[in-house]
Structure 1
Amino acid sequence: MSPLRICLGLLVLWLIAVMIYQTHKPLPEGVSYESPVYRTSQVTFLQDLTYPNGAGGTAQKQQIYNRILHIVDEAESFIVIDLFLFNDYIHEGQTFPQVSAGLANRLTEKKKTHPDMDIVFITDEINTNYNSAPNPLLERMKKAGIRVVITDVDPLRDSTPAYSAVWRTFFQWFGQSGNGWIPNLMSSQGPDITMRSYLKLMNVKANHRKVVASEKSALISSGNVHDASAFHSNIAFEVHGEVIGDILKAEQAVLDFSGGGQLPAYSSEPAAATASGAYQIRYVTEGKVYDRVLEAIHGAGSGDQIDMGMFYLADRKVIEGLLEASERGAAIRVLLDPNENAFGQDKIGIPNRPVASELHSKSNGRIAVKWYNTTEEQYHTKLLYVRHHGGDSIMMGGSTNFTPRNLNNYNLENDLWVQAPSGSELDQNLEHYFDRLWNNKGAEFSLELPAYQEKTNFLKDWAYRLQTILGFTTF
């Protein structure tokens, strides 16, 4: 055998070994975390909605961003924030509310008036253009004394093994910084990007979490504080008490493998203050979200109602779980984003359109599917709501799309799990929210399934399945 063939054979074996290891290696300590169950008397549901105003324009109802600012204002001991997207990059001709700068300003003012307060801002390297260029907002916060931590996602498992093996073998060693020369696909007004940064971007994985915490409360959201995302429809839950300590524990794990130092300590409330209350809550991240999602769906049967609002739905176990729950007699409504738009760029409807078609056809129409009526924004919600006939409701919401990348311990994700008594205030709020959107109460919030079911849907189904198998996708 020639030396060339021997070398090529050894290279192939090496790449296969890298693929196997990087997709199955041990997770960093503290990743895929589940807190104990806590009882509490208060869980607040918040929502952002963009919808037609009936006069040819759009209206917005926005609660989440203002509440984040209030949490910052109310904090007395510490602030810990973890947000996936945080930048003001936009495409030419676009105009959005300057929410990123607004939060940066509020944090820097807080640090100025409370110089001894520990303020920690954790985010993903997408906001530094994968280390091609500094983010002016983050740099301004650093100068104010705020601790900014860019997550090192390399210790996480790889979700695109064929590409990742090549990237880790040949390209990761050269870093990403330098003089960029390739146009910024995220923003025509953003800095140019190095080829090495684009190569890392293609090794798709992220710190996708969205949480804001102080010693007083914590908000777990599906939404980013990001100018180009400012009009997206999102949901959030706000909680108080001992679960904040678990949120800090989960964030400390990120700092431990990202070189971010130590988070402030949380002094828990007296046990009597958190040992009672109508609601049971737990904080879950990464693969633990998956466990609780499947548990909730598998626990639904005759007389129960499953409502799901989702930006991306593509995970096979979740899809099969919905079909099986339908066969058991559960009533199911799924409200999806049409995957039409991404920050001003057109999309082709993958994965939601082929998944919607599958759910409808395989359930013989028992699973009802509708589309959120988006314009240039996204229905960015990630919400599961299971109402048990004669029993408590289960609800989950946060950063996690129901896709392999988000559920299988690849991305960093976070959700709040809640068990609420039927008829409780929170249960009524969730029921009102979903019924309003589904039944178009007050506006045309949702569209029937045929609105986005094209004749070429089977081609998108093949593309979606192929992307899922190969991992060459952002979902």
Structure 2
Amino acid sequence: MNHRLKRKPLKRYQVGKLLSLFVVVYGFSMLYGMFKPLPENISYESDKHKDTEAEVLFDITHEQDGEVKEDHEIFDRIEKMIADAEDFLVVDMFLFNDEYPPDLSFPPLASWFSEQLVEKKRENPDLSMVVITDRINSFYGSRVPEHIQRLEEAGIQVVWAEMEPLRDSNVIYSGLWRSVIQWFGTPKGGWLPSPFSSEAEPVTVRSYLDMLNFKANHRKVVINEQEALVTSANPHDASAHHSNVALSVRGKVINDILESERAVVEMSDADPSLFDDMEYNGKRSSDAEGAEAKVITEGKVKEQMLKYISAAEADSDIWLGAFYVSDRDIINALKEAADRGANVRLILDPNHEAFGREKIGVPNRPVADELQSYSDQIEVRWYNTNGEQYHTKMLYMTDGDEAMVNGGSSNFTRRNIDDLNLETNLLLVAPKNHAMMEDIEEYFHALWNNDGSHYTHDFSQHSEGEVWKYWLYRLQETTGLSSF
């Protein structure tokens, strides 16, 4: 009797020690995930390259006379870049799959894109080709899609970007992932339905658990020896109708873009040797005046956005076209620019649909309510979407005779521009009368004024003012417990 009584406190003591040890390990893992050093050349900012040939391309889905029309040019240019490649071809794309709910129908963009790459390798077996993509396309190691298997079988190097070396965005969960779950690995195959399509191959429990880290290689880049294209567009069937933007450059800045891509390959413990002989080897296609260009990735995108917005004065115009905007530093910088008299205009996706699933408008609607009500200098319009998304990610500013554009893969959220995701943008500065800047100016004014088509809705179309959505967005943005 006395012996059993003595054993109970001992068991409780042992359980307490185990719980204390777990709390210490979990806390350390969480803090390490928040502050760990970044791999080399991640969060990268290149030198300035003057006289860079640059242009902008648009995918615009719009409603005209009651019909939905598409004026798309980005993948036409990518097709040409693949055909023109002679020395090398590097592709880094986030969403590269053909999975979507079976009751929907989309163009076969992923398989088309794969076939373009495979056919190029057949035509030129000696061409160095690297395709980098996010593990979401294998649903975190559950299986390899057929269209990506074809790339590997053709002799193209496929690199699955490994996100573990980056800092954690969903730190509350990722502390548990790092300390316990990750050590069990992710076997191929599974029995759970894919979250993207009920007709896709089953996936594993641990793939779902991996997904909850909410980290991604979100880059969208195509490079050959003559040209580099940085875009917001994905070779993803269910994204085929989205409105997007791309910036194309020719010049030595391409070498810096290659360096930023090599960093992802090295971070992923893949063989970077194909990059050894890759360098810009092109020539100008026109005699027009060039732009000042630099490549910026991850947190450097935010640094440059804040630098330019913070310098805006009463004669400055700020245009923001965005799928998501939620980063508090960017929002506060826009408010402060408005206080100084800058004209701030935002065209936003209403966040009410995603691949056939209804959304509640977070984060854009509460952010838009906050900004629109803050100052008469800030105006918001909603892109007129019809099942697709306004997927553009672009900041454009003019100040006197100078213009600047910062565009690429980065949504304007904490996850995308705070060194948590992998992202690539181009920063281009040129006179306001540069052909590219005139095209961007015309683009924003056409969308804002509905010139020739019904591009945008008035702010009141999706104005809500719901307090609970505002605080939900703030909680999700702060903690990382969200997909944006």
Q: Which bracket does the TM-score occupy, shorter chain normalised?
A: over 0.9
Contact 1:305 1:332 in 2 (8 A): yes
Equivalent residue for 1:471? 480
Q: Aligned letter for 1:130?
A: Y
Distance 1:270 1:121, change over 3 A: closer
Distance 1:271 1:426 in 2: 19
1:393-416 alpha-carbon deviations (Å, 9 max, x no partner): 111110001100001100000000
Separation of aligned partners in 1, 2:282 and 2:267? 32
- What TM-score do you get using the length of structure 1 for normalisation? 0.96
Does 2:28 correspond to 1:17? yes
Write the letter of the residue equivalent to 1:385: Y
Which residue of 2 is the match for residue 206 of structure 1? 216
TM-score normalized with structure 2 length? 0.94
Establish whether residue 347 from structure 1 lines up as the match of residue 359 from structure 2: yes
1:214-229, aligned counterparts within 5 Å? Answer: 214-229=224-239
Separation in structure 2 between the aligned mates of residue 123 and residue 269 of structure 1, nearest angstrom: 25
Do structure 1's residue 86 and structure 2's residue 125 form an aligned pair?
Answer: no
Q: How does 1:70-469 map to 2 (within 5 A)?
A: 70-262=80-272, 263-264=274-275, 265-268=277-280, 277-363=289-375, 365-389=376-400, 391-454=401-464, 457-469=466-478
Deviations 1:226-270 (A, max 9, x none): 110000000001101211111111011111121221233234459
Instruction: Quote the Cα distance in structure 2 between the aligned partners of 1:177 and 1:441.
Output: 53
Alpha-carbon distance, 1:3 to partner: 2.5
Contact 1:278 1:421 in 2 (8 A): no
For residue 46 of structure 2, the aligned residue among 9, 12, 35 is 35
- The amino acid across from 1:416 in the alignment is L
Mapped to 1, the partners of 2:306 and 2:312 lie a distance apart of 10
Go from structure 1 to structure 2 and tell me whether the alpha carbon gap of 1:338 and 1:271 turns closer, same or farther (over 3 Å shift). closer
Q: Report SS of the residue matched to 1:2.
A: helix
CA distance in 1, matches of 2:301, 2:201: 36
CA deviations on 1:126-157 (whole Å, 9 max, x unpaired) are 00011111111110111011111101111111
Q: Which has the larger radius of gyration?
A: 2
Question: How far has the Cα of 1:340 moved from its partner?
Answer: 0.8
Instruction: Give the drift of 1:430.
Output: 0.6
AA matched with 1:196: R
| Cross-structure match for 2:8 | none
- Residue aligned with 1:410, SS: coil
Is the contact between residue 52 and residue 249 of structure 2 (CA under 8 Å) also seen in structure 1?
no
SS in 2 for 1:296: helix
Inter-partner Cα distance in structure 2 for 1:217 and 1:431: 23
The answer on whether the counterparts of 1:45 and 1:235 sit within 8 Å (CA) in structure 2 is yes
Partner of 1:293: helix, strand, or coil? helix
Amino acid at match of 1:469: T
**Distance in 1 (alpha carbons) for counterparts of 2:283 and 2:223:** 20
Counterparts in 2 of 1:270 and 1:93: CA distance versus 1, 3 Å: closer
State how far apart, in whole Å, the 2-side matches of 1:198 and 1:330 are.
45
- Between stretches 418-427 and 304-313, larger displacement belongs to 418-427
CA distances 1:266-302 after superposition (whole Å, capped 9, x unpaired): 344599999x944100011011111111111111111
SS of corresponding position for 2:91: strand
**One-letter code of the match for 2:457?**
L
SS state at 1:280 partner: strand
Determine the structure 1 residue equivalent to 2:9: none
Opposite residue 469 of structure 2, the aligned amino acid is: K
SS in 1 for 2:99: coil
In structure 2, C-alpha distance between the alignment counterparts of 1:359 and 1:91, rounded to whole Å: 35
Name the CA distance, whole Å, in 2 between partners of 1:108 and 1:256.
24
AA in 2 matched with 1:200: D
Instruction: Please give the alpha-carbon distance, in whole angstroms, between the structure 2 residues aligned to 1:45 and 1:271.
Output: 18
CA contact 1:39–1:277 (8 Å) conserved in 2: no
2:250–2:284 CA contact under 8 A, matched in 1:
no
Cα distance change of structure 1 residues 273 and 186 upon mapping to structure 2, 3 Å threshold: closer
5+ unaligned residues in a row in structure 2: which ranges? 1-11
CA distance in 2, matches of 1:100, 1:76: 23
Cα deviations by residue, 1:81-132 (Å, 9 ceiling, x for unpaired): 0000101112112111111111111111111110011111000000001111
Q: C-alpha distance in 2, partners of 1:267/1:27?
A: 25
- Encode CA deviations 1:3-30: one digit per residue, 9 max, x unaligned: 2223222221221111111110010111
The structure-2 alpha-carbon separation of the partners of 1:278 and 1:218, relative to structure 1 and needing over 3 Å to count, comes to closer
Offset at residue 451 of structure 1 (A): 0.8
- Name the stretch that deviates more: 295-304 or 172-181: 172-181
Q: Answer with 300-309 or 178-187: which moved more.
A: 178-187
Tell me, yes or no, if the aligned pair for 1:244 and 1:266 is still in contact at 8 Å: no
Question: Which residue of the partner structure matches residue 5 of structure 2?
Answer: none
Letter in 2 for 1:28: P
2:69 matched residue in structure 1: 59
Shift of 1:460: 0.7
